[in-house]
Amino acid sequence: MSSISAPRGVRDILPDESWKWEHVLDVTARTAKDFGYREIHLPVFEHTELFSRGVGETTDVVEKEMYTFEDRAGRSLTLRPELSASMVRSYLENRMDKLHQPVKLWSAGPMFRYERPQKGRYRQFWQIDFEAMGSQDPYVDVETIALSLEIFKRLGLSRLEVVVNSVGCPVCRPVHREALQDFLRPRLNDLCETCQTRFDRNPLRILDCKNPACREITDGAPDTISCLCDECSSHFSEVRKGLDTIGAAVSIDKRLVRGLDYYTKTAYEVLSGDLGAQNAVCGGGRYDNLAESIGGPHTPGVGFAAGVERIVLTMEQQGCSFGRQPLLDAFVVCSEEGIRDEAFKLLYELRSAGIAADIDYSGRSFKAQFKFAGGSGASFACVVGPEEVSSGSVTVKDLQSGEQRQVARGDVASAIMTSGHKNG
Ligand code: HAM
Instruction: Give the pLDDT confidence of 245-301 residue by residue, as tens digits.
Output: 999 999 999 999 998 999 999 999 999 998 888 899 999 999 999 999 999 999 999
Q: Is 124 helix (H, G, I), strand (E, B) or coil?
A: strand
**Residue 30, φ and ψ in degrees, nearest 5:** -65, -40
> Does ligand 1 lie within 6 Å of residue 282's CB atom?
yes
pLDDT tens-digit readout, 135-184:
999 999 999 999 999 999 999 999 999 999 999 999 999 999 999 999 99
How far apart CA 161 and CA 275 sit, in angstroms, is: 12
Cβ pair 339, 386 in contact under 8 A: yes
Residue owning the nearest CA to atom 15 of ligand 1: 307
**Reported pTM:** 0.95
Q: Is 85 helix (H, G, I), strand (E, B) or coil?
A: helix
Q: Which residues contact 237 (CB under 8 A, 6 or more apart)?
A: none
> Does ligand 1 lie within 6 Å of residue 46's CB atom?
no
How far apart CA 243 and CA 247 sit, in angstroms, is: 6
Closest CA to 162 of 66, 240, 226, 48: 240
> Does ligand 1 lie within 6 Å of residue 102's CB atom?
no
Taking the CA of residue 123 as reference, the ligand 1 atom at the shortest distance is: 19
Side-chain-facing half-sphere of 281: CA atoms under 13 Å: 25
> Does ligand 1 lie within 6 Å of residue 125's CB atom?
yes
How far, in Å, is the centroid of ligand 1 from the Cα of 359?
43
Q: What is the pLDDT of residue 276?
A: 86
> Does ligand 1 lie within 6 Å of residue 113's CB atom?
yes
First to last CA, the chain: 42
Q: Is 296 helix (H, G, I), strand (E, B) or coil?
A: coil
Kind and range of the H or E run holding 395: strand 393-398
Q: What is the pLDDT of residue 419?
A: 84
Alpha helices in 222-293, H assignment, sequence order: 230-245, 290-293
Q: What is the pLDDT of residue 423?
A: 67
Cβ pair 120, 126 in contact under 8 A: no
Taking the CA of residue 131 as reference, the ligand 1 atom at the shortest distance is: 33
How far, in Å, is the centroid of ligand 1 from the Cα of 266?
16
For the chain, which ranges sit under pLDDT 50? none
Q: What is the pLDDT of residue 265?
A: 98
Q: What is the pLDDT of residue 208?
A: 85
Taking the CA of residue 258 as reference, the ligand 1 atom at the shortest distance is: 2
Cβ pair 395, 377 in contact under 8 A: no
Q: Which of 28, 66, 127 to mutate to test the pocket of ligand 1 (most atoms within 8 A of CB)?
A: 127
How far, in Å, is the centroid of ligand 1 from the Cα of 126?
9
Residue owning the nearest CA to atom 21 of ligand 1: 121
How far apart CA 130 and CA 258 sit, in angstroms, is: 17
> Does ligand 1 lie within 6 Å of residue 308's CB atom?
no
